[in-house]
């Protein structure tokens, strides 16, 4: 097991967005206009969020992605670099604007999100080929689905070929994953909605999450971890029966980056050589802190904060 001083290396392949966040009493209905409470512009994107989470939670991190040649892109790169994240594999598009996410958060701390891909859509297999050294340097490679599928598959395949631990957060999920992706993934980590989309099964309870995880494992995934919000996590690891990890009890303010914090924390722990069950519990503590704060990246805790939780 890694010592407390050891730092593993995580490379995140994924999206970089500027989040435009509005707070309102509730999520609007189609055609409805609501008066909101507040507005904020903060760094986001699942890739960026997971990179920041992994860095704050103890890993050496490289980000691989693409931003536009605009103020949003400059702010996102500067923000990552301020966290100590290596951005040499973050390309700058001359033709596409930086991606944005339009986020509404209601008084119950639930959110609805619309993403405009922008420069994230210019991450391609050629991008991965140009920056394979960023994958080779890591112990753990993390991907999501906010960049084009061909690029995600190229990242998964290259990471598998290089012998890395591969994490896929299948978000946003629009249907089952291609069958040839699953053998490339060490840890498939959907939330309850994504697990339902991937399997066609209802996922609203730990028991249903376990059934979905088993379905995905039978389809070829090595390990499946389904996050189910305040109900915790269900993990189907190897050949062991799915296990329920209860979530810490906290008062949620904003759940926007909870899943990204969990994945970044898990990746950081795995890169340090921690056992998976311990890594899950650590990542849960980190996520539980993030939901008590507003915003995406601003809500992500440090390793010291999680250690004191």
Residue 271: DSSP 8-state = H
Residue 23 lies in a domain: no
Residue 294 lies in a domain: yes
pLDDT for the residue 308: 62
Q: How far apart are CA 250 and CA 224, in angstroms?
A: 25
Residue 36 lies in a domain: no
Most distant CA atoms of the chain, gap in Å: 55
Find the helix packing angle between 46-56 and 71-82, rounded to 10°: 20
Of 8-22, 102-116, 236-250, least confident by mean pLDDT is 102-116
Per the annotation, the verdict on 260 as an active-site residue is yes
**pTM beyond 0.85:** yes
Write out pLDDT tens, residues 115-133. Answer: 899 999 999 999 999 999 9
Residue 38 lies in a domain: no
Residue 107 lies in a domain: no
| Among candidate residues 83, 93, 66, 75, the one with its CA nearest the CA of residue 20 | 75
Residue 191: DSSP 8-state = B
Question: Can you give the CATH number for the domain in which 281 is found?
Answer: 3.40.1190.20
Domain of 64? 9-16+46-97+120-307
CA 122 from centre of chain: 19
Find the helix packing angle between 192-199 and 206-218, rounded to 10°: 50
Share above pLDDT 90 across residues of the chain, in percent, rounded to a whole number: 87
**Domain total in the chain:** 1
| Among candidate residues 1, 5, 56, 9, the one with its CA nearest the CA of residue 286 | 56
* Length reported for the chain: 309
Q: Please indicate whether residue 252 or residue 3 has the higher confidence score (pLDDT).
A: 252
Residue 144 lies in a domain: yes
Element containing residue 39 per DSSP (H, E): strand 38-44
Q: How confident is the model at residue 105 (pLDDT cuts 50, 70, 90)?
A: confident
Lookup: tokens for 278: 């311990």
Scanning 137-205, the segments in alpha helix (DSSP H) are: 149-161, 192-199
Q: How far apart are CA 130 and CA 57, in angstroms?
A: 28
CA 290 from centre of chain: 13
Q: How confident is the model at residue 2 (pLDDT cuts 50, 70, 90)?
A: very low
pLDDT at 137 > cutoff 60? yes
Residue 25: DSSP 8-state = S
pLDDT for the residue 7: 84
User: Which residue among 70, 180, 260, 278 is the active-site one?
Assistant: 260
């Amino acid at each position: 097991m890694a010592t407390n001083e050891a730092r593993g290396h995580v490379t995140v392949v994924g999206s970089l967005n500027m989040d435009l966040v509005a707070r309102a009493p509730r999520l609007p209905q189609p055609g409805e206009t609501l008066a909101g409470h507040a507005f904020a512009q903060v760094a986001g994107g699942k890739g960026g969020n997971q990179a920041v989470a992994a860095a704050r939670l103890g890993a050496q991190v490289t980000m691989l992605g693409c931003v536009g040649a605009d103020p949003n892109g400059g702010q996102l790169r500067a923000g990552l670099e301020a966290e100590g994240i290596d951005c040499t594999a973050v390309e700058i598009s001359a033709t596409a604007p930086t991606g944005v996410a339009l986020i509404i958060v209601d008084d119950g701390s639930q959110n609805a999100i619309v993403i405009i891909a922008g420069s994230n859509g210019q991450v391609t297999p050629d991008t991965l080929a140009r920056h394979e050294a960023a994958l080779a340097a890591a112990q753990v490679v993390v991907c999501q689905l906010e960049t084009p599928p061909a690029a995600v598959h190229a990242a998964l395949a290259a990471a598998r070929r290089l012998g890395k631990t591969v994490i896929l957060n299948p978000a946003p999920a629009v249907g089952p994953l291609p069958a040839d992706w699953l053998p490339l993934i060490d840890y498939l980590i959907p939330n309850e909605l994504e697990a339902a989309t991937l399997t066609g099964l209802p996922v609203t309870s730990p028991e249903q999450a376990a059934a979905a995880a088993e379905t995905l494992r039978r389809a070829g995934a090595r390990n499946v971890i389904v996050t189910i919000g305040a109900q915790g996590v269900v993990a189907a690891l190897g050949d062991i029966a799915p296990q329920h990890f209860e979530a810490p009890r906290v008062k949620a303010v904003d759940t926007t980056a909870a899943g990204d914090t969990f994945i970044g924390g898990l990746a950081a722990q795995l890169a340090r050589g921690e056992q998976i069950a311990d890594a899950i519990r650590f990542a849960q503590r980190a996520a539980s802190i993030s939901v008590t704060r507003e915003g995406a990246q601003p809500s992500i805790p440090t390793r010291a904060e999680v250690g004191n939780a």
